[in-house]
Structure formats: structure tokens, C-alpha cells
Chain A
Amino acid sequence: MEKIIEVQHLSKTFGTNEVLKDIDFSVNKGEVVCIIGSSGSGKSTLLRCINLLEKPSGGKIIYKGKNILDDEHDLRAYRTKLGMVFQQFNLFNNHNVLSNCMVGQIKVLKRSKEEAKEIAMKYLKVVGMEQFINAKPRQLSGGQKQRVAIARALSMDPEVMLFDEPTSALDPEMVGEVLKVMRELAESGLTMLIVTHEMGFAKEVADRVVFMDKGVIAEEGSPEQIFNNPAQERTREFLKRTLQQN
């Protein structure tokens, strides 16, 4: 299998707090990887390090055979290849739904307005938000915002989609609509890296599940292996705790 992104010996410290310790990790083409783990285990930081919203303290991030951390120049081109979906949506408040999905295409990918609009409409249809293209973000519900955010990321034609707890800021009844969109994307063969607390979703959609604990990857494997037959004691502990809550 072809590796799209490979992370080697990645570490990240905030002051004296070591959030990520010597992480080795990779994402293969067409794969859906779910990262699970308790709060503060470093899963979001890992995701944010991968698209360099946080600058790693050490290690390498290899994309297409090149270490992205070596050369500032490739940084922005690299980021366009990663679609990011945030917990807090982060839609551009001054743009309406359509223009949220167009501005990156026009300014970064230098597409024409017509082309950008066509592509934006295509993905807004995928997420079922094509009716709302004139709405401003403040006029939408959380689930709608998140679906637009997914369309915005898809409009850049990324090779990998990164999801940073996409449903954690949503009301329970809106979680479903976002997960439905993500499920469809996963089925379409898109490469996805998802940080999530939705164990059921991870179990169902993931090709591989990564369990993080205290800044290290404690265990990784197929969903069956992680959820039904975890090798590590701490994985078992974590799953017991979260499944009890649900």
C-alpha cells in the first residue's frame, strides 16, 4: 500500500509539557484511520502537527518522499493537499456558504470563478447544503456549519481529509447528519484521518484504529482487534470507561 503521509519520531512539547513523544505513524492511500483516546492524550495535537498548525518540536513528516519540515516553501502547497475539518467549524464568518467553499479555490489554487463555483456546488450537494449557499455561517445550525466545513475542505480536492473531533461541539441530534456525510465519504474511497470520540462510528467506518494514551500510540490495529480484543491493559480500561458512558 502506498503511504501518503509518514510521520517519523514526531515530538511536540508545550513548555515543559511533552504532549507527543516519539510518534511513528503513517496514513495509506484510500485508508480510513480513526484516532481514539482520552482527552489530553495528544490526538488533536498529532492531527494539528500533521498539517503544521502546531509546529512539531522534533521528528519528520514525509509527504511524497520529502520532509515537509525542511522546506518552508512547500508548506502551503502541502496544506492544500490536506483538508482540515475543525471541532469548532471555523467557517469564514464574513463569507456566505458558497463563498466559503470558493475563496480558497480562487485565492490559493487560482481557479476561475466559474470553475470554483461548479466545484463548490458539487461538494455542497454531496453534504446536502446546496440550498443554503446564500446563508451566512451565523444563520446556520452546528450540524449545517460542519457540513459546509466539510464541503469547503473537499472543494480544495485534498488527498487526505483530517477531521479533528468533528462532532464534539454538536448537539446529539446533529451528530447523525455529520456522521452520515463522513460515512459516505469513507465509502467513496477518500483517505481520511479522524480524531473522534464516537466509538460506534470508528468501529463501523475505520480500516484501522489508533489508540493514543499520554502522548504515545499505545496500540493500533483493525477495529475488530482494538474493540473486541485489545492487547493492552490501558486500551481495555479506556474502552470500558467510554462504553460505560454511552
Chain B
Amino acid sequence: MELNVIVKTISKYWPMFLRGAGVTLYISTIGTIVGFIIGLLIGVIRTVPVPEKGIKKFILKIINAILSVYVEVFRGTPMIVQAMVIYYGSKQAFNIDMSPLFAGIFIVSINTGAYMAEIVRGGIVSIDKGQFEAAYAIGMSHNQAMINVVLPQVIRNILPATGNEFVINIKDTSVLNVIAVTELFFQTKSVSGINYKYFETFFIASVIYFVMTFTVTRILRYIERKMDGPENYILYANQMQVQTPEDAVRKNSDKR
């Protein structure tokens, strides 16, 4: 490896790397967020208590069947194949002309959604039954219990798994080069096709990938800590009930 080759490659082709990294981050961020929302919805639907009889039970059963087909199919096939099938398939069979970028986001989203659905379902199942019971006991409906009590806890608990998905997405968007999405891998391939310095060029790409995934992991850890709230709490003397903890802190710092 020659350092000057790396320096030269960067100084000459940095706009391509930057654009590639931008597209990679764009696709994986949107894909993870949309996938997270899909997963949340599916996870919630799949844990709705089944009524004992009636048309509702029938409808719920059909929806659940469709959802499990979706989850199984998209977990059970490689994303690179999904990309080919959806991108070229939609063009040839349905005459839908997607841009590669849109197709990329679409594929990453539904792929992530399939994984997240199971993660969310696991998160909901792992919440203590007592949380639901306490919510029902004060008169909440299943939906109210979900929204106000269970889901906030689930989201906190599945954040590490979501971070995992995010990191995987940053790396796996590289397979989208098969449908000519101009993400980082595609750009790197283009650069190395021009300068024929495969090792150095791809070394640069690997560094960029690592910086992106590492940064994302750190940010998510920070969010987790934020969600956990402070380790300590402030005791309230009786006359200070209208204060918020922020007020109390401000007041104390004013005194000093």
C-alpha cells in the first residue's frame, strides 16, 4: 500500500466518495426509519389479542397470515436478489419505472421492516404481563395500554437491536450497486475502474464505512442514555410541589 496513492485518490476523487457516502447514509437512514415504523405496526398488529368469535377474529387471522408471509419471505431471501426482482420485475411486469434510488430505499425499508417486525414482537412479548394488567385495571383499552405504557418501554428495549439493523443497513446497501444505485460501493468501484488501484481505493471505502457505522452506534448509545433519564431524583419538600426539577436546579444555581 502506498500512502501517496491514497492521498492522490482522495484528493482527486473525494467528491465521488462523499456523494457515495451521502447516498449510502441517506438510503440506510430512511430505510431504517421506515423499516422501524413498519416493524412497529406489524409487531403491534401481531400481538392484538384475538377475539373469541365473530368477523373480527376472521379478519385478524387473515391479516396475521399475510403479515407472516411478508416477514418470512423477506427474511428468507437475500436482499441482493430482492433488489433484482423488485427493480427489474416492476419494470418488466408492471411497467413501473422506479429510479434506482427510490427502489433502493424501498427495498431496504421493507427488508428492515421484516426483521424489525420480529424484534418488536419479541419486545412486546417480553414486557411483563403485569404492565398490561395494571393498565387494563384502571380502565385502559388494549390500544391505550399499548401506546401509553407498553410501546414506550418496548421502543427503549429494542433500541440496541434497531442500532444493529442500522449498522447492517449501512453496510448492506452496498448490494444495491447491482441496480446501479450510486452508493459508496458503486462509487468506489467506479473510481477503481478509472485508476486501477483497487486495494487503496477500497481501503478508503472501508474506512468511510467504519466511520459511518461507528458514529451511528455512538449516537444511538447517547439516545439510549437520554431515554433512561437521570439516575437520581430530587426529593420534594412540601411547599415546593409546583416546581419541576429543572426549576429546582436553576434556583440552586442562582443562589451560588
Contact = CB atoms under 8 A, between A and B. Distances in A.
A152 B139 CA distance: 12
A131 B235 contact: yes
Contacts of B144: 107-108
A79 B149 contact: no
B136 interface: yes
Contacts of B135: 92, 104
B226 to A, nearest CB: 14
A91 interface: yes
A134 interface: yes
A88 B241 contact: no
A190 to B, nearest CB: 17
A79 B137 CA distance: 6
Interface in B114-158: 128, 130-131, 133-141, 144, 148-149, 152-153, 156
Interface residues of B, number: 27
Interface string A106-149: 01110000000000010000000011111110010000000001
B229 interface: yes
A133 B236 contact: yes
A103 interface: yes
A131 B236 CA distance: 4
Given A94-B149, A104-B140, A86 B235 contact: no
B255 to A, nearest CB: 20
Interface in A88-106: 88-96, 103-104
B138 A108 contact: yes
A51 interface: yes
Contacts, number: 87
A156 interface: yes
B138 A130 contact: no
B15 interface: no
A76 B236 contact: no
Nearest to B130: A90
B148 A107 contact: yes
Nearest to B127: A93
Contact of B139 (A95, A108, A149): A108
Q: What class of interface size applies to chain A in its complex with B?
A: 35 or more
Contacts of A92: 131, 134-135, 148-149
Interface in A164-215: none
A84 B235 contact: no
A136 B139 contact: no
B133 A86 contact: yes
Contacts of A80: 138-139
A109 B128 CA distance: 25
A184 B137 CA distance: 23
B140 A108 contact: yes
A77 interface: yes
Contacts of B128: 88, 90
Contacts of B234: 134
A243 interface: no
B238 A93 contact: no
A84 B137 CA distance: 6
Best-buried of B128, B140, B233, B238 by chain A (most CB within 10 Å): B233
B237 A84 contact: no
A131 B248 CA distance: 14
Given A53-B133, A121-B241, A76 B153 contact: no
A224 to B, nearest CB: 33
A83 B236 CA distance: 26
Contact of B140 (A53, A76, A152): A76
B245 A104 contact: no
Nearest to B228: A136
Nearest to A52: B136
Contacts of B245: 134
B142 to A, nearest CB: 10
A153 B138 contact: yes
Contacts of B238: 130-131
A82 interface: yes
A94 B235 contact: no
Interface of A: 51, 53, 76-77, 79-80, 82-84, 86, 88-96, 103-104, 107-109, 121, 130-136, 139, 149, 152-153, 156
Given A80-B138, A84-B137, A90-B133, 16 more contacts: A79-B139, A80-B139, A83-B137, A89-B130, A93-B153, A94-B149, A96-B233, A104-B138, A104-B140, A107-B144, A108-B138, A108-B139, A121-B241, A134-B234, A139-B233, A153-B138
The 6 closest A-B pairs by CB, nearest first: A80-B139, A90-B130, A90-B134, A104-B138, A84-B137, A94-B152
